[in-house]
Amino acid sequence: MADYKTIHGIKVKSYTTDPDNIIEGQVWYDKTNKVLQFETPNVTTAGAWRTGNALNTARYILSGTGIYTASLAFAGFSTPPDTWHGLTENYDGTSWTEVADLNTVRYGAFRSGTSTSALCSGGQNAPGSAIANAESWNGTSWSETGDLNSARSKGGGDGASNTNALAFGGASTLAVNESFNGTSWTELADLNTGRRALGGSGTTTSALAYGGAFPIKAVTESWNGTSWSEVSDLNDARVEVGSFGSDNTSALVTGGESPGYVGVTEIWNGTSWTEVADLATGRAAVAGSGTASNGIAFGGSAPAITGATEEWTGAGAAVFAWSTGGAMNTARSFMANAGTQTAALGAGGNPDNQVLTELYDGTSWTEVGDMNTGRRA
């Protein structure tokens, strides 16, 4: 019978904790729990959130854009003292790094683009003072570009880059909708229901607007590049949500106030919304980026201001999970080994140069014939 080293080129290693950078199919011996561990792919049933590393600066009413392994977080607000932020941070799928600040501090800004080509427009930079200022991100720094026609904050929007954006709604209960071409903004068909603090995602030709206030709404509208059409409402009406998605057939909304801070997450499939796994930290004024399959939610207020980041893995996506098997009858290390996950052999080992041999059937270990000469690997 071929042993593990012959098949994989390495011996089974022993660890007191889980090893770093685990890969699918890896096998190791857990000395602390005295069990053999195996890294196996697991498939989620309805999607799940997991904790990521927090923003360097906790804030809320911030904006975000990009994908879950390359996201940008910018602007926002924190208190005390009252602080409008120009801070920009980049997420690489593991941690956040501060990069160049916006030229104009603000919160509640419209967003569009990627981590290397983004647009920040509108927002508020003093109590009750909405601005029209827009800035373009080239992956290194922000530069001023064409202003919105209508100064506003806390609206919905999205787009592909710093030359392709849609900005709709905003304070106070505006229905205005504008499109950006890299130079200037053009007014297009208004939302059917004017609102503020809504969620928005998609492109300039295929977008979705959902939730908002006041009063708190569940209304969802679909944009086809020319006009808005009302479609199925959110299951949970709310305001100040986190949102991201690809187009008017695929989106995710999470968090918000309903009233009260919630972690409720819903997925849009082009026809209706379905509730899935909640955020671990329910919060409002949270930012998000990514797609309905993979994304992140970050920042917000619950009501304490937070920099918490959570990573979303959608339904059916492969994720890794540790699977604990049955413990050996005799705890030891430095054994000889051979076989597969459901038919494994462990023999000899420390302490005292064991002669014991055990057979694993995928569930439990059974002692079988001893070796003639005790030894360790």
CATH number of the domain residue 257 falls in: 2.120.10.80
Number of domains in the chain: 2
Give the separation between CA 52 and CA 55, rounded to whole angstroms. 9
Give the separation between CA 284 and CA 261, rounded to whole angstroms. 6
Same domain? For 330 and 311 the reply is no
Same domain? For 281 and 333 the reply is no
Question: At 321, is the pLDDT very low, low, confident or very high (cuts 50, 70, 90)?
Answer: low
Same domain? For 276 and 239 the reply is yes
Looking at 294, 316, 338, the residue that finishes a domain is: 316
Question: At 5, is the pLDDT very low, low, confident or very high (cuts 50, 70, 90)?
Answer: low
Question: At 15, is the pLDDT very low, low, confident or very high (cuts 50, 70, 90)?
Answer: confident
Judge whether 305 lies within some domain.
Answer: yes
Same domain? For 25 and 70 the reply is no
The parent domain of residue 334 ranges over: 4-41+326-368
User: Which among 279, 190, 293, 193 is positioned nearest to 241, based on CA atoms?
Assistant: 279
Judge whether 375 lies within some domain.
Answer: no
Judge whether 68 lies within some domain.
Answer: yes
Which DSSP state fits 5?
H
Percent of the chain topping pLDDT 90: 73
Same domain? For 275 and 234 the reply is yes
Judge whether 11 lies within some domain.
Answer: yes
Q: What is the pLDDT of residue 361?
A: 85
Same domain? For 11 and 62 the reply is no
* pLDDT higher than 90, residue 33: no
Judge whether 356 lies within some domain.
Answer: yes
What mean pLDDT comes out for the span 56-64? 98
Same domain? For 59 and 206 the reply is yes
Q: What is the pLDDT of residue 29?
A: 77
Non-local (6+) Cβ contacts of 278 within 8 A are: 49, 262, 263, 264, 265
Same domain? For 99 and 69 the reply is yes
Beta strands in 188-281 (DSSP E): 199-202, 207-210, 220-223, 228-231, 242-247, 250-254, 265-268, 273-276
CB atoms within 10 A of CB 277: 18
Same domain? For 299 and 340 the reply is no
Chain Cα centroid distance, residue 44: 15
